[in-house]
Amino acid sequence: MAIYLTDDDVRQLLTTAECVDVMEDLFKQEAQGLVENLPRQRFRFGQSSATLMGGSALGSGAFVVRHSSLNLLYSTETGQLEAALQPSALAWIRTGAATGVATRYMARTNASVVGMIGTGRQAITQLEGVCAARPIKTARVFSRNAENRERFAKDMEDRLGIEVVPVGSPEECIRGADIVVTMTNSREPVFDGNLLEPGMHVNAAGSNGWMRREIDEATVRRADLVVVDNLDQAKTECGDLIWAAERGAVRWQQVAELHEVIGGRLSGRSTEAAVTLFESQGIGIEDTAASAYVLKKARERGIGQPLPF
């Protein structure tokens, strides 16, 4: 019998650190040709809108169709509906976890300082994901609202047990960092790419629409390796790279997919001095793998409301 899982259930069953391992396994599956992603589609109906995305992962035994307000998880063996999940908490966690697994393969192994631009709810799992992947000792955080960055720094210091310092400018945030993370809804770049230093890794996770840009042309040009979670989706949603490609700063043929790095076809870091960039859009197969993992734990613990079908 299928079960229904709420956002509270998902938060109880899945941590960002756990989900980093789930995402790593997913992209290994993709490298073996075992997954198929359904890129996000956006629809507008009068004054309302909806999204549709999903994908299958044979190694996880699941395929998911995600509507704006619901994840429907089916078995790849029987085709039967196995679970309906509220998607908000799951998307929040798996987005941070995707950043974590990219960091695991692309940042220097001794990276210990993070510069975090953006202090909203989504930034929480971004920082958790990075801390699950590297031995982070200090995070410097910046947002334009001083009260928000002060509160975020205190909350994350308590949550992670590391030093989290609010700073007053992007320059202070980035200077001397090993890893830079952007998670904002900005339409203009939030830092000057000329500030990047040799060996830095950048995770840009906020630009999932062609009208949004968090990083500038200089950042893209300086990156020795540019990686996305899904190339087809990036070509329609990644404002950072769409802008750069239109101006000749990068060619789409130069952009790699994350499974190529995790599967070993490409090295995530060619030298210690290389600058690397991961652009995250949040894709359907990530929902599939995370949903399947949550369902497995829910059944083990007897969590979830039975559905009458």
Both 203 and 149 in one domain: the answer is yes
Mean pLDDT, all residues of the chain: 96
Query: H helices then E strands: how many in the chain?
Result: 11, 15
Burial label, 297 (beta-carbon count in 10 A; 0-12, 13-18, 19+)? middle
Distance of alpha carbon 131 from alpha carbon 205, whole angstroms:
16
Q: Are residues 193 and 258 in the same domain?
A: yes
The residues, ordered by sequence, that sit 6+ positions from 1 with a Cβ below 8 Å of its Cβ are 306, 307
Is residue 99 included in any domain, yes or no? no
Q: One-letter amino acid identity for 287?
A: D
Number of domains the chain contains: 2
pLDDT of residue 135: 98
User: Which residues span the domain enclosing 301?
Assistant: 3-91+284-306
Each residue's pLDDT tens digit, 66-113: 998 899 999 999 999 999 999 999 999 999 999 999 999 999 999 999
- Do both 39 and 151 map to the same domain? no
> Are 168 and 128 members of one domain?
yes
CA distance 274 to 289: 31
Per-residue model confidence as pLDDT tens digits over 227-272: 999 999 999 999 999 999 999 999 999 999 999 999 999 999 999 9
Note whether 157 and 191 are same-domain residues: yes
Give residue-wise pLDDT tens across range 24-41: 999 999 999 999 999 998
Q: Do residues 46 and 172 share a domain? A: no
Q: Work out the percent of the chain whose per-residue pLDDT is above 70.
A: 100
Query: Could you tell me if 117 and 230 lie in one domain?
Result: yes
125 and 271 belong to one structural domain: yes
> The domain spanning residue 49 has which CATH number?
3.30.1780.10
Does residue 151 share a domain with residue 254?
Answer: yes
pLDDT at position 207, please?
Answer: 80
With pLDDT > 90 as the criterion, what percentage of the chain qualifies? Answer: 93
Same domain, yes or no, for 148 and 110?
yes
Same domain for 291 and 192: no
- Residues ≥6 apart with Cβ < 8 Å to 227: 102, 106, 255, 256, 257, 258, 260, 261, 268, 276, 277, 278, 279
